[in-house]
């Protein structure tokens, strides 16, 4: 890595401050919508930001976010997250947020246009897959998915069970 992990804010200043390099903070998953991967065949992923209020950020920092039963839609050329439950912040005051309010998702205009085209296809929907911290900001991974049929779900369960049994057999064979 060519960049040094610290630098002086003022040239010639004897006081140097340590600065965390961008990207070194990594990704920390807050919430994952596992049911979405079971109910939908995910065809494409997109990372978007989300516009939150102050008490919502504090609740998310405490891990109080639930993406189950939530979905995203395009309204008036804006990407919007519906039914995402961010619990009320306990230390908040009378100006606390509504847990199920509509939240704006932040993406580039070209990405939103592409999602409009994909979501208008028959059977396609926008599903939030996970929420995570990335470089001090809350990001949501949105997937473009098509609903699975019942036999597809049964096949997924059967495959998962077989993989579990196979791993157990291999572990017994090693012993």
The pLDDT confidence band at residue 11, using thresholds 50, 70 and 90, is very low
Secondary structure of residue 4 in the 3-state scheme:
coil
71-104 pLDDT, tens digit per residue, is 888 888 888 989 888 888 877 777 777 778 888 8
Cα-based torsion angle of the residue sequence 142, 145, 150, 155 in order, rounded to the nearest 10 degrees: -80
| pLDDT of 50 over the 60 cut | yes
State the Cα–Cα distance between residues 39 and 145, nearest whole angstrom: 9
What is the value of pTM for the model shown?
Answer: 0.69
Which domains are seen in the chain, by residue range?
26-149 (2.40.280.10)
Mean pLDDT calculated for residue range 112-123: 82
Mean pLDDT calculated for residue range 121-143: 87
- The per-residue DSSP string of 112-130 comes to HHHHHHHHTSTTEEEEEEE
């Amino acid at each position: 890595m060519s960049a040094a992990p610290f630098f002086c804010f003022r040239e010639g200043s004897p006081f140097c401050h340590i600065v965390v390099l961008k990207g070194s903070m990594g990704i920390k998953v807050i919430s994952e919508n596992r049911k979405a991967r079971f109910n939908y065949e995910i065809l494409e992923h997109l990372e978007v930001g989300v516009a939150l209020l102050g008490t919502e950020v504090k609740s998310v920092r405490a891990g109080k976010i639930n993406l189950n039963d939530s979905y995203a839609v395009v309204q008036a050329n804006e990407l919007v997250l519906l039914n995402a439950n961010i619990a009320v912040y306990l230390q908040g005051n009378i100006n606390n947020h509504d847990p199920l309010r509509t939240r704006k998702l932040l993406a580039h205009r070209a990405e939103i246009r592409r999602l409009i085209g994909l979501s208008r296809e028959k059977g396609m929907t926008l599903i939030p897959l996970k929420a995570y911290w990335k470089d001090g900001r809350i990001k949501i991974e949105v997937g473009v998915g098509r609903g699975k049929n019942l036999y597809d779900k049964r096949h997924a369960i059967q495959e998962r069970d077989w993989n579990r049994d196979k791993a157990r057999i291999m572990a017994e064979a090693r012993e």
